[in-house]
Amino acid sequence: KDNAKPTRVVHPADYHLRRIAPDDEIIERCGQHVFLMVVPPNHLLTQVDFVFYNAYDQTILAEVQQHHEQLSGMKPLTRGQQFRFWTGGTMICFGSRQPSGGGPGDNYTIYAGMDCYTINGMKASFNMILGGLLMNEVARRVWPDVFRDMKKATECTDHFGVDGMNLYRCRGYRAPLHRDHDVCRGLCGQVEWDADAKFAEYAFCQPEWGYYIVTRANMIWSFDSSDLHGTMLPS
């Protein structure tokens, strides 16, 4: 459009972002590598978010990867105005939503494409529920507060599994810097990763907090979608 703002692509150095990345020596020695993000209000350290590398053992990781492969034929989500300049890949959603747009009477309901009328549809739903449970258990181990907040915030929603948290399965997904304004913090998980580590492709960027998270297979992290966030573009 003639009045549209031009797309701007920036480098992490433009924002002086700190790089959060796994240390292979720590993972070799300890089996995992965890970062805890804290802020010091009133001189007391308060945890804000976490990054957990090598979150699952290889048996569980292989099962989760297999489950994600089974979802490739489902209907992806179409993102809104914030994504009109740049986006890529697919995002498949499980759960219920309150749309920001839509027609009259379009209210809180399940995402389109969820299919529990066939054996394959039921298997896909149960597999996604299992993936969400695994992520929640990791969060409960690393930061119980964020797990409790998510449970409390979704008490009155439709439950997909044992709680009301929505699940999103992404493949090759890239997003511009944006805000989502969800009701609570959320969790992200990377179960597969095929990119160039030299350029931190598909890293998760949080410029307002001053860092970006280098992504790898088998990791989980938390974040507040109300904060500006987006994806490092492939080179």
Mean pLDDT, residues 9-16: 83
Beta bridge partners of 51: 35, 221
In sign, the C-alpha dihedral spanning 140, 146, 149, 154 is: negative
Report the chain's mean pLDDT, rounded to a whole number: 77
CA–CA separation, 171 and 225 (whole Å): 19
- Going by C-alpha positions, the residue among 56, 162, 154, 74 that lies closest to residue 111 is 74
Mean pLDDT, residues 127-134: 80
Residue 220 pLDDT > 90: yes
Residue 216 pLDDT: 93
Name the more confident of 39 and 68: 39
pLDDT above 70 covers what percent of the chain? 70
Residue 7 pLDDT: 66
Quick one: pLDDT band at residue 94, thresholds 50, 70, 90?
low
The number of CA neighbours under 13 Å toward the Cβ of 39 is 5
CA–CA separation, 139 and 52 (whole Å): 9
In sign, the C-alpha dihedral spanning 101, 104, 110, 115 is: negative
Mean pLDDT, residues 151-162: 68
Residue with tokens 């998980």: 189
Residue 100 pLDDT > 70: no
Compute how many other C-beta atoms are within 10 angstroms of the C-beta atom of residue 185.
21
Residue 206 pLDDT: 92
Quick one: pLDDT band at residue 46, thresholds 50, 70, 90?
confident
Quick one: pLDDT band at residue 5, thresholds 50, 70, 90?
low
- Cα-based distances in Å from 125 to 65, 73, 80, 107, 221: 15, 13, 25, 22, 23
In terms of DSSP H, where are the helices of the chain?
A: 24-30, 58-69, 119-142, 144-153
pTM over 0.85: no
Left (φ > 0), alpha (ψ -120 to 50) or beta: where does 177 sit? Answer: beta
Mean pLDDT, residues 145-174: 73
Q: What angle do CA 168, 174, 175 make, to 5 degrees?
A: 85
Residue 184 pLDDT: 82
